[in-house]
């Protein structure tokens, strides 16, 4: 996944009663930065996702990103009408603290938050680091997004000075969005502990049960002559679980010094889609071509996403 730049914010639009909608042109991997316009447009939000911002003693923190508010914090969309063809979607948002002020930093620094995007049939997935645009406005560079129903999530830890008493330091908020255009759903793959992507084969081991912490391990078979995996956000790989239907999301925690291993808890039984992201060094002629462009060290890597489907027992 490539990084994207963002145009300045023209104006803010209140989030209550708004949905993100992106008007996308045909997907393309090329084009000048001028073709990448922040694509946010107002749409109606289901009433269930538009409660008033919760007070500090409001609802229990949701661990699955199924609400726009948790622990007194609120995920607010910021809108800007697209002015032309859009090739790259930036989700603009603010996080409101229990006192109504905009959150300008997260515990551990601005790079500790993560934004996720999941298509309703689980055929699309993004996981990115939001960028600080100033004055409490953040941007999640989601790249090319196909038409359909999606859900966007934000995982973050509020600064300690803003934590409501008795609340978890980790919050996960979510909001539905619609990307206009013709689209069809795809059936979920049958459960499998093996996945292949870009010549790499991943094998998952673990015995997940609903409501119980589980250790999941990954073995990765790389193509002949390839380099070892490179760190991605400080870990050999990243794993995110999503439940079909309600789109409950669980970010698993990488375990340092344990190979490629993760710990997390599935909140309910049934089939879950697992998205595994890992990074490798770009090889051969492709790496040499990128090096000649002077686009920076990040351009010397390829990011991959493998998809598995596991069954969680009751």
pLDDT per position as a tens digit, 198-242? 999 999 999 999 999 999 999 999 998 888 899 999 999 999 999
Do 58 and 173 belong together in one domain?
yes
Q: Which residue has better confidence, 181 or 245?
A: 245
Could you tell me the end-to-end alpha-carbon distance of the chain, in angstroms, rounded to an integer? 35
Residue with tokens 């206009």: 180
Residue that is last in its domain, among 123, 152, 179: 179
Do 45 and 86 belong together in one domain?
yes
Q: Is residue 159 part of a domain?
A: yes
Report whether pLDDT(49) > 80: no
Residue that is last in its domain, among 148, 179, 210: 179
Q: Is residue 54 part of a domain?
A: yes
Report whether pLDDT(34) > 60: no
Which pLDDT score, from 0 to 100, does residue 246 have?
A: 94
Which tokens hold the place of 297?
């060290």
Which pLDDT score, from 0 to 100, does residue 187 have?
A: 87
Task: Read off the pLDDT of each residue in 291-314 and give the average, rounded to a whole number.
Answer: 75
Beta strands in the chain (DSSP E): 69-70, 73-77, 89-96, 114-119, 125-128, 131-134, 137-143, 148-156, 171-179, 194-197, 200-205, 213-221, 238-242, 249-251, 253-254, 261-265, 270-281, 301-312
Pick the range with the lowest mean pLDDT from 148-152, 177-181, 274-278. Answer: 177-181
Do 38 and 170 belong together in one domain?
yes
Which pLDDT score, from 0 to 100, does residue 168 have?
A: 52
Q: Which residue has better confidence, 60 or 220?
A: 220
Q: How many domains would you assign to the chain? A: 2
Residue with tokens 């400080």: 234
Question: What CATH number is associated with residue 46?
Answer: 2.60.40
Residue that is last in its domain, among 156, 179, 202: 179
Domain membership of residue 164 as a residue range: 33-179
Which pLDDT score, from 0 to 100, does residue 289 have?
A: 42
Q: What is the pLDDT of residues 97-154, one digit of tens each?
A: 999 999 999 988 888 999 999 999 999 999 999 999 999 999 999 988 888 899 999 9
Do 173 and 40 belong together in one domain?
yes
Do 202 and 263 belong together in one domain?
yes
Which pLDDT score, from 0 to 100, does residue 61 have?
A: 32
Do 77 and 136 belong together in one domain?
yes
Residue 104: φ, ψ to 5°: -105, -5
> Between the CA atoms of 45, 143, 238 and 166, what dihedral angle is there, to the nearest 10 degrees?
-30
Contact 288, 169 (CB under 8 A): no
Which pLDDT score, from 0 to 100, does residue 127 have?
A: 96
In angstroms, the CA 141 to CA 276 distance is 19
Report whether pLDDT(161) > 70: no
Pick the range with the lowest mean pLDDT from 84-98, 257-271, 283-297. Answer: 283-297
Q: Is residue 241 part of a domain?
A: yes
Which pLDDT score, from 0 to 100, does residue 28 have?
A: 33
Which pLDDT score, from 0 to 100, does residue 18 have?
A: 34
Which pLDDT score, from 0 to 100, does residue 104 have?
A: 94
Burial 213-244 (b: 16+ CB within 10 A, else e): ebebebebeeeeeeeebeebeebbbbbbbbbe
Which tokens hold the place of 47?
């009433």
Report whether pLDDT(12) > 80: no
Do 212 and 290 belong together in one domain?
yes
Tell me the C-alpha to C-alpha distance, in Å, between residue 143 and each of 3, 87, 118, 282.
8, 8, 13, 20
Q: Is residue 233 part of a domain?
A: yes
């Amino acid at each position: 996944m490539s990084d994207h730049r963002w145009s300045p914010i023209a104006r803010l639009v209140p989030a209550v009663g708004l949905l993100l909608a992106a008007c996308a042109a045909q997907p393309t991997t090329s084009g000048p930065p001028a073709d990448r316009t922040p694509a946010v447009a107002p749409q109606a939000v289901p009433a269930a996702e538009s409660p008033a911002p919760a007070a500090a003693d409001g609802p229990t923190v949701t661990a699955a990103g199924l609400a726009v508010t948790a622990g007194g914090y609120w995920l607010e969309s910021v809108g800007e009408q697209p002015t032309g063809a859009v090739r790259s979607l930036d989700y603009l948002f603010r996080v409101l603290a229990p006192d109504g002020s905009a959150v300008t930093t997260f515990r551990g620094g601005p790079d500790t938050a993560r934004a996720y995007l999941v298509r309703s049939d689980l055929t699309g997935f993004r996981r990115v680091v939001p960028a600080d645009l100033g004055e409490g406005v953040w941007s999640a560079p989601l790249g090319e997004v196909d038409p359909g129903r999606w859900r966007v999530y934000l995982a973050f830890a509020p600064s300690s000075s803003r934590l409501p008493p008795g609340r978890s330091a980790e919050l996960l908020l979510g909001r539905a969005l619609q990307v206009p255009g013709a689209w069809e759903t795809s059936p979920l793959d049958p459960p499998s502990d093996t996945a292949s992507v870009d010549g790499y084969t991943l094998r998952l081991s673990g015995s997940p049960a609903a409501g119980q912490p589980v250790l999941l391990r990954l073995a990765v078979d790389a193509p002949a002559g390839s380099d070892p995996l490179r760190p991605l956000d400080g870990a050999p790989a990243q794993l995110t679980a999503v439940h079909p239907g309600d789109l409950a999301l669980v970010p698993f925690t990488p375990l340092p010094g344990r190979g490629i291993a993760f710990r997390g808890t599935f909140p309910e039984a049934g089939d879950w889609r697992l998205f595994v992201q890992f990074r490798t060094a770009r090889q051969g002629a492709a790496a040499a071509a990128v090096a000649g462009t002077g686009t920076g060290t990040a351009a010397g890597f390829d990011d991959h996403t493998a998809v598995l489907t596991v069954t969680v027992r009751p």
